Amino acid sequence: MNYFGMLLLTIAMFIWGSSFIALKIAMIDLGPLTVIFFRMLIASLCFVYFIKDFLKFNFTKKNIQLLLLLAFFEPCLYFIFEAKALQNTTVSQAGMITSLLPIIVGVAAGYFLKEKITKRLILGSIVALIGAIVLSLQATASVDAPNPILGNIYEFLAMVCGAGYTIVARYLTKEFSALFITAFQVFIGTIFFFPFFIYEYTQLVLNFTFNSVISLFYLGVIVTLGGYGLYNYALTKIKASKAAIFIYLIPIFALILANQILNEKITFIEIIASAIILFGVFISEFSPSKFKRKKIKKI
């Protein structure tokens, strides 16, 4: 076991889990799409240094179309849905809905990429979906979460977009580096969300307070570059298949941070519903054979 790689992955998941908190804080004083625009803009400025290296790639018509489709899924639609989600539900609930992403990806891969859809995936999907429904129905409205059910639906739609991104990325990662794909996303995201920022600037009262500005830089630099950098460096120490398991730490960290920083109360039913979701993911992702000890061959 590479404990250093595991530590890096855990920190990366903590950073990504904390992005929900930063988004929620920034949206207290700024419009949701204004927050996304500045997150993309700040991240874009961090990638300017690499532009010369990016121009060395071979861009075909098909690759450009797929890159645009990738960016359309994420960050464009993805962050619109996520911003709307956090306007209506709690960080705790939105974080747990993200656990459904691997299952959605599995189903999408089966439909679009003709990958095998196993009985475990179907069973896990049903269990996780039941957990998500329980999580949403038991939620009560509050000032910070006026419509939890609607917010959770938006977060689910964000995960659908995330699945679309993942399917397209499976092809593009064979042609381009992860660094370039990330940079392309934030460049397109900056252009896409600029008109939304102008609209909110003319329609809303935007207060660039200390907390909101710090949150913007945290999202643009720490979450985008820090999380990305740590995750990719960790992949040099740990196999990608093993690293993927750490993604399930994101909703757990989001749940804990929401409780500690935003004072979101975690009810017993939320804990049960979250456990059901994670159990559904566990069923779909892990085969019992993986836990069987290898038999020692007799000499």
CA–CA distance, 252 with 258 (Å, rounded to integer): 10
Angle at 278 between CA 277 and CA 280, to 5 degrees: 65
Range scoring the smallest mean pLDDT among 172-181, 232-241, 269-278: 232-241
Residue 295 pLDDT exceeds 60: no
pLDDT digits (tens, 9 = 90+) for 97-151: 988 888 888 888 888 878 787 888 888 888 888 988 888 888 888 888 899 999 9
Say whether pLDDT at 23 is over 80.
yes
Confidence band, pLDDT 50/70/90 cuts, at residue 184 = very high
Nearest Cα to 224, choosing from 53, 25, 12, 35?
12
- CA dist 115 and 163 (Å) reads 14
Question: Which tokens belong to 119?
Answer: 């009985």
* Distance (Å) of CA 151 to CA 3, 65, 86, 184: 37, 31, 7, 28
**Average of pLDDT values for 28-54?**
93
pLDDT for the residue 144: 82
Query: Which uninterrupted H or E stretch holds 129?
Result: helix 119-137
Neighbours of 253 (CB within 10 A): 20
Stated pTM of the model? 0.85
Q: What is the pLDDT of residues 240-249, one digit of tens each?
A: 656 667 777 8
Query: Of the segments 39-53, 136-150, 204-218, 219-233, which one has the largest average pLDDT value?
Result: 204-218
- Domain segments of the chain: what residues? 3-287
Tell whether the model's pLDDT for residue 225 goes beyond 70.
yes
CA separation, residue 286 to residues 44, 49, 97, 163, 236 (Å): 37, 41, 19, 19, 23
Least confident of 16-20, 83-87, 226-230: 226-230
- Buried b or exposed e, range 23-40, using 16+ CB within 10 angstroms: bbbbbebbbbbbbbbbbb
Residue 200 backbone phi and psi in degrees, to 5 = -65, -30
**Predicted pLDDT at 241:** 55
What tokens appear for 27 in the block? 């949206």
pLDDT (0 to 100) of residue 292: 53
8 A C-beta contact, residue 230 and residue 10: no
* Pair 9, 230: CB distance under 8 Å: yes
Using CA atoms, how far residue 122 sits from 117, 125, 279, 280, in Å, is 7, 5, 13, 10
